[in-house]
Amino acid sequence: MARRCASRLTAFLVAAGMLIALGACSSSGSTVTKTPSASSPLGSVAVFLPSDGLTISQHTPLNKWTKFTPALTKSLENRGFSRGSINVTTSDSFDKQSRSIQDYVVNTLAITDNKAKKTSASSGSSLSGATQHAASNATLIVAPVVQLGDADTQYGDYASHSVTWGAAGGKSSGDDSTGTSGKSSADDPATTLRQAGDRLVSALKLARESGVHVIVVSNPIQGFTPDVFVQMSTAEQIGSLQAKLLASKLQLDKVSRDNPKSIEVLLPRTAAQDAADDTDSADSATKDGSQDDFAAEAFVGIWKVLGPYVAAGKVVSPSGSFNAKTTQKDWQASAFDASKPQQVKDELARRLGMEQKKTPHTRIDGIIAMNDFVASSAIDELDSLQYTGSAADVNPSITISGVLDNIAGKKDLLRGSVPDPAKQPAANDTTTTPENTEKNNSRWPIVTGYGAYIDTIPQVVNGRLWMTGLEDRQLMAANIAQACEQLDRGQDIGKLPFIAPANVNGAQVPTIQGQPLAVSASNLKKTLIDPGYITLAEAGL
């Protein structure tokens, strides 16, 4: 027995040595916000999150990692983890993060092994068993750093992207000591990226094998299966959410093909050059072409909802970007480079055939803008094109005074809209005049977005933006903290009501399922103001 324990200890030391060899440098540039100073009865929790860039503008999503850190820390403390046992490290690149995690795993297991030696000596238990028992009191939470193109950053930090670095087990160009360009492997971005990925997976696997619990947040990691996966908003969920609410708001089930609704999908994509630059970046934990994956998957979510209405003739696109023959794979017809506000404005004017801004208005009933960056620019262009009114014209109960009464608890804003007639007026209808037609066509459309940008919330209040969405980070943080407690106590996490098995890299993994929150004027108080996500002043109230 003693010889077997010694061999296991030797294997552990060899594995730790191999990890150190993968990257001896520590993660310079990472920020440690808490340093363990005392042990918790529940053990320790090490959290590794991406760092946010300096944000001085309110034109940014509420879904930011810098906002998630205090929410998670507070939730862990509420579950019984001591403040000193919670260690948070942020990194601005995938490479630096992999080194930070490697350092943590090696150091933690070394400390654990020393404790196990003392326990083994005093109790007579096996060294390997004591090591795993001590390590089981440690939990590692990782949200992998993903370098995104301009289009994907518009949704906020939490939207899910797979973390990959080429074919599993395969070799990228530049695997040899010199790459195809003659550069050393150390200078080859693809090689650097693959090395960071291999380093991260090796460290996480060693941690799990030693008894450390590993929770991966938002972004699945190629080649690694965690104890728990935290599913935040996917592209398909974001697209589906907006399409469902738009379909409900416009009452598409009641619409006749003789008077269809006019809808445009403004699907932002990363410019080709930006995608190429990100693919070459050493810090980009994404595969070739993945910058378009998010847009493609978002369209799948949209089309599962809108597709049947389009096929039935109840929905049409003024620009012809989709029609009855469109499938889920035809996302590119609705996509465009939306990295700058003017690009969004020009695209919307083109879709409506109003580039000169002097033509009669084109009827537009709904715009799925995908995120608040695109939505805010679309709203500016609609205003410039002299579309009038707001969502209050579709649902007259939504007014600023009504929102104020709702927040004060005096008024319910949930009231149905007035349905359109089953048929459009005939051309020879004497009651239809050019003036009436123009007034009808210039009505403000229902505009949807996502991200809950602080400076767009007042647009929700005044009805220019019908709805936005965001991740309920407080609920997500609370669920992660409860999962950590359950793991540390050795209890079955599958019994937690918010956990269900899901496919992660081909394996069924206990998953904390997240659903994005939909925010409109009718629930603004409940979803944003009461939880403290925004203030009354930020809502324009």
DSSP at 489: T
Tell me which of 61 and 3 has the higher pLDDT: 61
Judged against a pLDDT cut of 80, whether residue 69 lies above it is answered with yes
Judged against a pLDDT cut of 70, whether residue 514 lies above it is answered with yes
| Residues 460-472: tens digit of each pLDDT | 988 899 999 999 9
Question: Can you tell me the distance from the alpha carbon of 104 to that of 224, in angstroms, rounded to the nearest whole number?
Answer: 18
Judged against a pLDDT cut of 60, whether residue 54 lies above it is answered with no
Question: Can you tell me the distance from the alpha carbon of 219 to that of 49, in angstroms, rounded to the nearest whole number?
Answer: 11
Judged by average pLDDT, the poorest of 46-50, 201-205, 217-221, 512-516 is 512-516
SS (H, E, C) 435-475: HHHHHHHCECCEEECCCCCHHHHHHHHCCCCCEEEECCHHH
Judged against a pLDDT cut of 80, whether residue 272 lies above it is answered with no
Under the banding of pLDDT at 50, 70 and 90, the label for residue 250 is very high
CB-hemisphere CA count at 13 Å for 77? 11
pLDDT at 367 (0 to 100) = 98
State the CB neighbour count (10 A cutoff) for residue 196: 25
pLDDT at 22 (0 to 100) = 44
Under the banding of pLDDT at 50, 70 and 90, the label for residue 418 is very low
Under the banding of pLDDT at 50, 70 and 90, the label for residue 27 is very low
Judged against a pLDDT cut of 50, whether residue 535 lies above it is answered with yes
Strand partners, 511: 229, 500
Tell me which of 62 and 41 has the higher pLDDT: 62
DSSP at 277: H
| Residues 346-362: tens digit of each pLDDT | 999 999 999 887 779 99
SS (H, E, C) 175-191: CCCECCCCCEHHHCHHH
Both tokens of 176, joined, read 């040899």
DSSP at 321: S
| Residues 160-191: tens digit of each pLDDT | 998 888 754 444 333 333 333 344 445 577 88
| Residues 358-382: tens digit of each pLDDT | 779 999 999 999 999 999 999 999 9
Angle between helices 189-209 and 2-22 (to 10 degrees): 160
Under the banding of pLDDT at 50, 70 and 90, the label for residue 286 is very low
> Average of pLDDT values for 425-431?
57
Strands 507-513 and 228-231, bridge-based pairing? parallel
pLDDT at 409 (0 to 100) = 54
Judged against a pLDDT cut of 50, whether residue 7 lies above it is answered with no
Judged by average pLDDT, the poorest of 37-46, 51-60, 73-82, 242-251 is 51-60
- b vs e for 284-323, b when ≥16 Cβ sit within 10 Å of the residue's Cβ? bbbbeebbbebbbbbbbbbbebbbebbeeebbbbbbebbe
Mean pLDDT taken over the chain: 80
Judged against a pLDDT cut of 50, whether residue 255 lies above it is answered with yes
Angle between helices 372-384 and 341-351 (to 10 degrees): 60
CB-hemisphere CA count at 13 Å for 3? 0
Cα separations in angstroms, 352 against 330, 425, 442: 20, 21, 11
Judged against a pLDDT cut of 70, whether residue 427 lies above it is answered with no
pLDDT at 87 (0 to 100) = 95
Both tokens of 532, joined, read 């403290």
